[in-house]
Chains A and B, each alone.
Chain A
């Protein structure tokens, strides 16, 4: 049986509703702030990762993805968080960026899609919070 959401705000399908309800415990203003902060951090860190990748710095790339990984948890995109975890592990097992190119492009694509979804959801949260205020 499907569980009913505890708050009146319903997150879009990509986001884990019950997990986010547990995490924010009804504080949707906090959720909105964390979603916005996550977009900013992920976007700026992606640029850093790109530069490090071009420099052949695999450990540096791994550190960037390690840093942004929990953000996908804070926004309830748990499958993306898991995907980033796998990429991070791949970084530790790879000698150079040439072996990592395919995975690097793939993860960037996934993360950029995620940023788009987070942005959409943040706007939805903001509209909801402003109406409620």
Chain B
């Protein structure tokens, strides 16, 4: 599993140092470095990340203020040079608290905590929703509301009862991110919500009148997943 992340840090050297550790870990993708909370919030209003490396004292809003304004809850590792924030860090339930500068070994310990927490979250919530970037904002879609997802080249279409959402993504990428208990790829261009299938006929399935092909390559797995009595 790889984790997408951003670094929010007003000290360039500290950010450079951290980026090297992330690269070396092989599992942390740094999607951006922001020198203040405001710029980071602009990015986070349109993009979802798994993890934020967050300094506390920065020009403008603090790291804690950034967390107050987040619309979703990625994991946070606080990176600060002050131990006095430990109590606040506990209150905000951050994943870990790194005092700058820190060694690679200490960084790895923090990443292990991220992995443990991710596993716990997945076990607890069963990932009942996803966020997609569409119409210039992040939209929460409940898994149960999604009928199917269709590829449109470099874009995908999320089809729900009420609306269709087009977003920049690929079926391949989404296959790894949606709940595998509920969703299944049945064709190179389609992921379907197994609970929303109405009928199946030969190499096609139907969801609310839409005809979705089931390819030969995916049929066997599909037939294993559905309940035939």
Taking a contact as CB atoms under 8 Å apart, the answer to whether B20 and A23 are in contact is: no
Taking a contact as CB atoms under 8 Å apart, the answer to whether B16 and A34 are in contact is: yes
Taking a contact as CB atoms under 8 Å apart, the answer to whether A37 and B57 are in contact is: no
Cβ-based interface call for A66 (8 A): yes
Taking a contact as CB atoms under 8 Å apart, the answer to whether A67 and B20 are in contact is: no
Taking a contact as CB atoms under 8 Å apart, the answer to whether A73 and B16 are in contact is: no
Closest Cβ neighbor of A27 among chain B residues: B20
Closest Cβ neighbor of B58 among chain A residues: A67
Cβ-based interface call for A38 (8 A): yes
Taking a contact as CB atoms under 8 Å apart, the answer to whether A37 and B13 are in contact is: yes
Task: Specify which chain A residues have a CB less than 8 angstroms from the CB of B12 in the assembled complex.
Answer: 37, 41
Task: Kindly count the residue-residue contacts between A and B in the assembled complex, taking CB atoms under 8 Å apart.
Answer: 45
Q: A33-B16, A37-B13 are in contact. Are A63 and B100 (CB under 8 A)?
A: no
Taking a contact as CB atoms under 8 Å apart, the answer to whether B13 and A63 are in contact is: no
Task: Specify which chain A residues have a CB less than 8 angstroms from the CB of B82 in the assembled complex.
Answer: 66
CA of A27 to CA of B59, assembled, Å: 31
Q: How far is the CB of B106 from chain A (nearest CB, A)?
A: 10
Task: Specify which chain B residues have a CB less than 8 angstroms from the CB of A27 in the assembled complex.
Answer: 20
Cβ-based interface call for B104 (8 A): yes
Closest Cβ neighbor of B10 among chain A residues: A67
Indicate with 1 or 0, residue by residue over B70-106, a CB within 8 angstroms of chain A CB atoms. 0000000000011000000000000000001101100
CA of A97 to CA of B192, assembled, Å: 66
Cβ-based interface call for A74 (8 A): yes
CA of A9 to CA of B142, assembled, Å: 57
Q: How far is the CB of A120 from chain B (nearest CB, A)?
A: 18
Q: A23-B101, A25-B104 are in contact. Are A30 and B20 (CB under 8 A)?
A: yes
Which one of B13, B81, B104 has the highest number of Cβ atoms from chain A below 10 Å of its Cβ?
Answer: B13
30 A-B contact pairs sorted by A residue (CB < 8 Å): A23-B101, A23-B103, A25-B103, A30-B17, A30-B20, A33-B16, A34-B13, A34-B16, A37-B13, A37-B16, A41-B11, A41-B12, A63-B59, A66-B57, A66-B81, A66-B82, A67-B10, A67-B57, A68-B11, A69-B81, A70-B11, A70-B14, A70-B101, A71-B13, A71-B14, A73-B100, A74-B13, A74-B14, A74-B17, A74-B100
- Spell out A's residues near B (CB within 8 Å): 22-23, 25, 27, 30, 33-34, 37-38, 41, 63, 66-71, 73-74
